[in-house]
Chains A and B, each alone.
Chain A
Amino acid sequence: MALKIVKGSIDRMFDKNLQDLVRGIRNHKEDEAKYISTCIDEIKQELKQDNIAVKANAVCKLTYLQMLGYDVSWAAFNIVEVMSSSKFTYKRIGYLAASQCFHESTDVIMLTTNQIRKDLSSPNQYDTGVALTGLSCFVTPDLARDLANDIMTLMSHTKPYIRKKAVLIMYKVFLKYPESLRPAFPRLKEKLEDPDPGVQSAAVNVICELARRNPKNYLSLAPLFFKLMTSSTNNWVLIKIIKLFGALTPLEPRLGKKLIEPLTNLIHSTSAMSLLYECVNTVIAVLISLSSGMPNHSASIQLCVQKLRILIEDSDQNLKYLGLLAMSKILKTHPKSVQSHKDLILQCLDDKDESIRLRALDLLYGMVSKKNLMEIVKKLMLHVDKAEGTTYRDELLTKIIDICSQSNYQYITNFEWYISILVELTRLEGTRHGHLIASQMLDVAIRVKAIRAFAVAQMATLLDNAHLLTGNTQRNGICEVLYAAAWICGEFSEHLEEPMVTLEAMLRPKVATLPGHIQAVYVQNAAKLFATVLRGHEGVPADSMVAQETSQLLIDRLPLFVQSSNLEVQERASCILQLVKYIQKLQQKDVEVAEEVTALFAGELNPVAPKAQKKVPVPEGLDLDVWINEPPSGSESEDEGRKSKGKAVFAKEESRHTKPRYTEVDEKELAKRREVRKAEQANNPFYIKASPSSQKVYQDGVGVEHIPVVQIDLSVPLKVPGMPMSDQYVKLEEERRERNKADKKKKKDKKKREKGEKGRRRRGDSGPESEEDITPAHMVDIVTEEMPENALPSDDDDKDPNDPHKALNIDLDKPLADSEKKLPVRSHRPDEVLKSPMEDRQVVEVVPEPKKKTGKEKKEKKDRKKSKEKKKKHKQEEEEDLMGAGSEEPVQPEETKEVAAPPPASTPEASDLDFWLSNAPVPSNPQAAAAPASTPRTASGMAAVAPDSEPEEAKDTEPEETKSSTHKKKKQKKEKKKKKHHHNHSDGAGDESVQNGTVEEEEPLPPMSNYALLAENSYIKMMKQDADKVCDIQGNLQDGSQVVVSVIFENKCDSFIKSMEFNVLDSLNSKLQRPDGAGPHDGLIVPFQLPPGISNEARFIFSVQNIVMPQKLKGTLTFIVKTDDSSTHEKLDFKLHFTCTSYLITTPCYSDAYSKLLESGDLKGCSLKLEGVNQPFHHLLARICFHHHFSVVERIDSCASMYSRSIQGHHMCLLVKTADQTVSIDAKCDEPGLLGNVLDEIKLTFSQC
């Protein structure tokens, strides 16, 4: 044995170590692969030995080889062996190798669990550290689940070195094992205040990473982070926190308000550029989130822009780059403040650094206006000439085209100029973007009718000089423009002055060297030109010779194309050749043929919207879901199920598929169809091929018929011989503007009328006032980009379904249930009992969320619910992202939260956050802060003293206490005010209710609540809220929808209440959803018991068939009142009132989708007048938003458009106007019955207040 060891170590001396390997590879440059393969053989031998040192050495070398790209997964087991060595030296190598080459599908990872666990609990901190580091790279879901508890323990390790690593790795664990997030979160939060800065930084890091993906769930940590931000001195931590705030502000505009001041201070004081930059970035984010109607933060914008200017002017290229990057973010919302720095940005175009030039280009895109477009493009053209390197030049070229064509050529006032620019661009050598220029030429020539003559002249010149463009044809992308040129000349040949010349140019032998598809266009358009020539010369005796000569020319030249190897060219050429030969025969007989030849190419080509094809409506009577042939028999029942399911999905996702079947085809629809058909007829293959760019161009259209093609007389048509110079247009344009101005003064009133018209046509996207003055030389003929009528901003979750972060969207504000305090271990999870033991008060208070019912029979339901909840959260996130301050969910933020994560237990916290965010003076004393925060009801005159605890602490350490105090208060209050229907559920009144819906106004809104008293007796009080609907998007088996009703049960007596059973008499239309197996008359057991004075919330799901009518359901609650010596059975009857409103879901809507919806004509109108409403308009809107689940689409002064959608997908639009205490509401909906009822309910709401 001893001998063996000695032998092993002697062997080792002769083994290659890593350095030898490296050196060896270096010395075998010529046959590296061969050398390495011999080395791998050696390594294989070494791995077979028993000596761990030899193995470690081999693994060491393998790690190096892995870096060079060699697969070493075959040695995975040996790596595990080395990992399990007791010596730190080897262990470290083992873990390193594992972290380099293990991944989720490495099967030996299973073997490592125990080894890692042993290392994690090793007394040596470096063993633990190495294991943590390694694990962070190859953690799998299994490892995460098995080791989560061990790692959680390490988060409280005595050594900060271990603590910080354990904290950091938790992020990886969460990703792989999302269930661990909730149990681990409280501890993670503690670590934010760890004494060691490294640990603190790690915790901040992890939470920022989590919050970045699901910011909503971390909003409640804002106060804590705010504190950290003001106290921390570690710039890394600060940067992270500030970045985090940047992600949070869009969700909570009030947070932004609060941040602006400290951030501004930081900007002023810090000397660290990285910190400064992040501050500026976050301030920008705040300003963006506030941009909807905040009192101007122009000072902040100015500060940002000014600081960014300093960055951009810095000699450090990095700062310059970042400055431009941040500038582009401001540009989106505050273009004006950036535009004043145009000089600086243009200067950056001259920078030697390409990245910086590209950034500057990006900025330019947003800075153009009608006024400066020509100037900017001129500058860019100069750069194009100067630019070395084709990539940058190509980039410039695309940018020029982008800038000019953006939003439907909005900024172009003179299209002759634009054509000249395009023609100038064709002189670029070696660009790849010939097709881009070509498509622009086509687009402009087709759509701007007034420009055609000019365009044709230019194109003819291009064709004439084709040899300049076709230097080396095959590689040169620029010859693509000849495609456009030929087509334009042919199609609009009536504008050609000398068609003969052009025809001759198109038939030159050199053309045969062009790519096939271009030749084909040449041939086809030569025929068109031929027709034009014939028409021009026939009838006049002297000219008939010319016509015949032309025929002869074609007959001479076309055979060249007939021999083409390109099939398309060949076919067209031979076809046309035969035609011309025939024509020639006729000509010789003096037959007039021009008319007939022209007829071959007659008809105007209209531009067709790229989506027109898709838009073709389904003809009446055609049911796309019906089988064309009978389906193979056998599985009929199955088919049926699938069919109905499919239908449901259709109806939910895109109502447009089913709509045409139900709606009457009205005039408009018919007209539209005719239009489309016409467009299709006029179609020819060339056109479709040639307009890929139109996709980009037709951004938002106005119907053709709305825009008459105004031909403004351009007094001096430029005659430019040869290639045009765009510069001349710049001068000309200036003159023209001068003249226009003078004209305008003269015909002031006339202009006014016109302008009014134009303003209307432009659909509100007109530029700033000054730009109005610039009349365009040519109007662009726009084709409507027709969208499906009912298209809404995408409801579908466009997030990547595989995104691991999706699983981490977990509500963290909910207090932990007992069952959750420890991480669940999969195999030994005890089946929990549904009912909580009554002694444990805390548990009683824990929300009986369906999630926590782990009973097996509930599992399925649970899953469904979870997913539903998740979906809803996503949706809500989207909503909040999409909508400005004015249009959030039901107005109160607490309520918003509740919709997302319903347990009432979270409300104290929510109100903490609310309080913190509210504008109430911030008390410096935490105790003072706690008092109002945790006593939301003191506003109504209660002198209650709250437990003195800081808000954050109250959240995690003493949730019970805070809560119970809230409840106490509730009770006390009730004693005072016996019956209060609009119970203000857990939010502050008066001073702290700066509501979400009206952030811009500082006036407080009257408190609102959706909880209404349901029934009450001496024992118990029920309140219901139905604000909260789940639209069953999954389209379960029925087409039906679900409504969730939250009921708060409050124990008013001094005895214990238990065995509550909730039952509702189902109607035909609405049914209470009962667990599988329960009969239709069985009650639902309320999953909690109520100690005296306690209230809790339970949720019940109803399925509803028809949502047009409001309805009432009778129900009974039975329960047992238990006193010390006796217990009595009691019951309470109640009526559940489902209003039509409760079938509406707050859905955001873009204003353009909204207007499309209104235009579509599917909606039936109805209106309502309310007299004597003397509320501020924003209160009014907030009320409608809150009580009736609408969202504000757009608000202009005292007029607002609102939108909502029913759970069955009906659209409902409101136009609310107010004047002199009179509110008029014009409403439209595709379901008139529903609309009428909702309007009645709105009326009721306002009559009550």
Chain B
Amino acid sequence: MIKAILIFNNHGKPRLIRFYEYFAEDVQQQIIRETFHLVSKRDDNVCNFLEGGSLIGGSDYKLIYRHYATLYFVFCVDSSESELGILDLIQVCYITLLYTYHLQVCYITLLYTYPLQVHFILQEVVMGGMVLETNMNEIVGQVELQNRMEKSEGGFSAAPARAVSAVKNINLPEMPRNINIGDINIKVPSLSPF
């Protein structure tokens, strides 16, 4: 199970928080601060796992994070999740994010401009603390369909829709469309049938 997903910037300002277990608002902020404190003092070339802080989790929980330029993506997961799998999943989230709404350079403003849209992407990846989908094509497809639906309703605000259309006009050679979370698509060898 995933207990929480936190995205914050290099200064610890939250950009997205998603708890799959109830915490009061002030505790949430405390958790963010604590997590930021733990994560921010780590070099970039050290491992991406951290034994959980005191507020969130306990011995069974781990913080798994990635640091992209100005943003930290932190997942708090228990022992039922594969550490490497979650790392790949973070990558998937991130790339989907860039892919759906923006370009690789502008991610700094990304979460400023479309805070809710990031939630919508995340909802297609993780649901209620469990991993829903890992295939990026599928995720992107569903998000785009929903955004299109929103647009057909007149749009809540025009901006995201504009962004979507902008994305469509841009070709992204360096963004492979078929990212299947790293190596997780290996054919299993034939085993003796039982």
Contact = CB atoms under 8 A, between A and B. Distances in A.
Contact of A274 (B84, B135, B142): B84
Interface in A61-86: 63-64, 66-71
B146 interface: yes
A169 B128 contact: yes
A1082 interface: no
Interface string B149-184: 110011111010000000000000000000001111
B96 interface: no
Interface stretch (B18-26, B68-76, B100-108): B18-26
A424 B149 CA distance: 71
Contacts of A63: 115-116
B28 A22 contact: no
B182 A69 contact: no
A226 B192 CA distance: 11
B82 A317 contact: no
Contacts of A53: 156
Given A96-B120, A318-B49, A355-B49, A274 B183 contact: yes
A67 B115 contact: yes
Interface in A218-260: 223, 226-227, 229-236, 238-239, 243
B132 A274 contact: no
B28 A93 contact: no
A118 to B, nearest CB: 18
Contact of A126 (B25, B47, B149): B149
Contacts of B182: 272, 274
Contacts of B157: 17-19
B131 A318 contact: no
B127 interface: yes
Interface string A109-132: 000000000000000001000001
A92 interface: yes
A461 interface: no
Contacts of A275: 183-184, 186
Contacts of A133: 123, 127-128
A239 B85 contact: yes
Contacts of A23: 112
B83 interface: yes
A1208 to B, nearest CB: 38
A136 to B, nearest CB: 3
Contact of B84 (A139, A270, A277): A277
Contacts of B130: 168, 171, 202, 205-206, 209
A924 interface: yes
B35 interface: no
A924 B192 CA distance: 9
B48 interface: yes
A87 B153 contact: yes
Scoring A139, A169, A230 by chain B CB atoms within 10 A of each residue's CB, the highest score goes to A230
A322 B84 contact: yes
B14 interface: yes
Nearest to B22: A103
A88 B150 contact: yes
B98 interface: no
Given A126-B149, A161-B142, A318-B84, A22 B113 contact: yes
Contacts of B115: 18, 22, 63-64, 67
A103 B24 CA distance: 10
Contact of A352 (B16, B46, B49, B84): B46
Interface in B83-105: 83-85, 87-88
Contacts of B154: 89
B119 A317 contact: no
A236 B192 CA distance: 21
Interface in B40-62: 43, 45-51
A1024 interface: no
Contacts of B88: 274
B114 to A, nearest CB: 8
Contacts of A873: none
A202 B183 contact: no
Interface string A270-300: 1111110110000000000000000000000
Interface stretch (A261-269, A395-403, A661-669, A773-781): A261-269
A353 B129 CA distance: 30
A897 interface: no
A89 B28 contact: no
Nearest to A226: B194
A70 B25 contact: yes
B192 A922 contact: yes
B14 A67 contact: yes
Interface residues of B, number: 68
A916 interface: yes
A164 B48 CA distance: 30
A239 B87 CA distance: 14
A172 B185 CA distance: 29
B46 A19 contact: no
Nearest to B89: A236
A169 B127 contact: yes
Contact of B183 (A22, A201, A235, A243): A235
Contact of B46 (A261, A273, A354): A354
Contacts of B85: 235-236, 239, 274
Contacts of A1056: none
Contacts of B190: 230
A803 B136 CA distance: 35
A126 B145 contact: yes
Contact of B26 (A69, A92, A161, A235): A69
A856 interface: no
Interface in A352-368: 352-356
Interface in B130-149: 130-135, 138, 142, 145-146, 149
Given A265-B189, A273-B183, A239 B146 contact: no
A269 B138 contact: no
Contacts of A262: 191-192
A107 B184 CA distance: 43
Contacts of A126: 145-146, 149
Contact of A96 (B20, B87, B119): B119
Scoring B135, B149, B159, B194 by chain A CB atoms within 10 A of each residue's CB, the highest score goes to B194
Contacts of B185: 233-235
B62 to A, nearest CB: 10
B188 A233 contact: yes
A139 B48 CA distance: 32
A265 B153 contact: no
Contacts of A19: 112-113, 157, 159
A212 interface: yes
A236 B149 CA distance: 30
B10 interface: no
Contacts of A271: 183, 186
A1211 to B, nearest CB: 34
A100 B84 CA distance: 27
B188 A238 contact: yes
A96 B116 contact: yes
A274 B82 contact: yes
Contacts of B83: 274, 277, 318, 322
A165 interface: yes
Contacts of B1: 209
A230 B120 contact: no
B192 A261 contact: yes
Contact of B189 (A96, A161, A201, A266): A266
A272 B87 CA distance: 13
A797 B102 CA distance: 53
A593 B73 CA distance: 76
Given A198-B133, A275-B186, A243 B49 contact: no
Given A169-B127, A353-B46, 7 more contacts: A88-B153, A198-B135, A235-B85, A236-B181, A243-B80, A274-B83, A318-B48
15 contacts: A26-B112, A89-B149, A89-B155, A92-B146, A137-B128, A164-B132, A171-B130, A201-B131, A212-B80, A265-B191, A272-B186, A277-B84, A278-B82, A317-B46, A355-B46
- Interface pairs A-B: 5 shortest CB-CB: A136-B128, A274-B84, A235-B184, A317-B47, A353-B46
